[in-house]
């Protein structure tokens, strides 16, 4: 899911019972991470398929690249993200 919080694009992913929130723009070409998908515990950018670990935001496609990971939780049925 792609959301914008105070002008910041954030991609929110659900894997099983876990939620993850990462920066919504891929560092490669500003790809819309919120339109991507999950494969093997990694968020995949829809533009060029760069992959990022959900747990850390670390890129597994290109060494040294990453996405900021935000703390998130569910409160009263709503997803809250600390930005």
Class of residue 49 by CB neighbours under 10 A (exposed 0-12, middle 13-18, buried 19+): middle
Could you state, in order of their start, the residue ranges of all structural domains in the chain? 2-81
pLDDT above 90: residue 6: no
Beta 51-53 vs 42-44: how paired, if at all?
Answer: antiparallel
pTM of the model: 0.93
Least confident range from 4-8, 22-26, 28-32, 65-69: namely 4-8
Q: Which residue has the higher pLDDT, 6 or 15?
A: 15
Q: Which fold has domain 2-81?
A: Rieske Iron-sulfur Protein (2.102.10)
pLDDT above 90: residue 5: no
Distance CA 42, CA 54 (A): 5
pLDDT above 90: residue 21: yes
Do 72 and 64 touch, CB atoms closer than 8 A? Answer: no
Do 67 and 59 touch, CB atoms closer than 8 A? Answer: yes
% of residues, the chain, pLDDT over 70: 100
């Amino acid at each position: 899911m792609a959301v914008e919080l105070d002008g910041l694009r954030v991609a929110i992913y659900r894997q099983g019972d876990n939620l993850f929130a990462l920066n919504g723009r891929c560092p490669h070409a500003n790809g819309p991470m919120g339109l991507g998908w999950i494969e093997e515990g990694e968020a995949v950018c829809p533009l060029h398929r760069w992959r990022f670990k959900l747990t850390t935001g670390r890129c597994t496609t290109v060494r040294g690249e990453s996405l900021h990971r935000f703390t998130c939780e569910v409160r009263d049925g709503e997803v809250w993200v600390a930005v």
